[in-house]
Every structure is written in C-alpha cells, then in structure tokens.
C-alpha cells in the first residue's frame, strides 16, 4: 500500500498538468512557441498545452514582476490557468530564473 501511494504521489508531482487550488490548473514545462495571445508549453509529461494570455494575466520572473515581453521560447514556466470552456486562460505565468554559476556550486 505504501509503495502504491508513493507511486501515485510521484506521478502527480512529475505530470505536466496538475490540478491546483480551486478551479486553477498548473501547466509546467518549457515554452515551445509564442504566437499572438497564446503560449505553447512542452510539458514535463511530454505533451503540449496551449494557454491563452488575457489582459489580467500576471507575469513574474522569480519573485519580481515581469511582462509578456520578458517571456522567450525555451524559458521554463509554471502557469496557473483556469479552464474557460475548452480554453486554458493564464491567471499567472511564473518564468524560471536561470541559476548563476555561484548558485550552482
């Protein structure tokens, strides 16, 4: 039983899309495409998810405020989104911060 629970927990943690608090969904992975008002994310589970940017979407790089212009293809992201009909709409996009040489030591 303990092994089964550990496997279930591991699966949830490594999946690219997981349910977040309330009606929010997490999309985690690498930006593979930026086009118009959408972000395509290659998720950690190997699928691709398309998330729409809306006027109220908040952007962060680490803990600092950012903008959509700070987002680039190949950036690692965690996106909090809500499902509106069949469309994921981003409420928050957290852009990964690359480790500096000093941090990785």
pLDDT in tens, 42-75: 998 999 999 999 999 999 998 999 999 999 999 9
Residue 16 in domain: yes
Looking at the structure of the chain, the number of domains it has is 1
Q: Taking all residues of the chain, what is their mean pLDDT, rounded to a whole number?
A: 82
Residue 88 in domain: yes
User: What b-and-e string marks burial along 63-97, b requiring 16 or more CB atoms within 10 Å of the CB?
Assistant: eeeeeeeebeeebebbbbbeeeeeebbbbebbbee
Residue 102 in domain: no
Residue 104 in domain: no
Q: What CATH number should be reported for the domain holding residue 49?
A: 2.40.50.320
pTM here is 0.74
Residue 103 in domain: no
Residue 47 in domain: yes
**Full residue range of the structural domain in which residue 65 is found:** 2-95
């Amino acid at each position: 039983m303990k092994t089964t629970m550990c496997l279930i927990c591991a699966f949830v943690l490594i999946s690219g899309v997981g349910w977040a608090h309330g009606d929010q969904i997490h999309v985690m992975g690498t930006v593979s495409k930026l086009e118009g008002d959408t972000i395509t994310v290659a998720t950690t589970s190997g699928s691709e998810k398309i998330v729409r940017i809306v006027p109220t979407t908040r952007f962060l790089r680490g803990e600092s405020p950012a903008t959509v212009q700070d987002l680039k293809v190949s950036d690692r992201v965690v996106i909090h989104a809500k499902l509106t009909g069949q469309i994921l709409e981003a409420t928050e996009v957290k852009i990964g911060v690359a480790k500096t040489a000093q941090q990785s030591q």
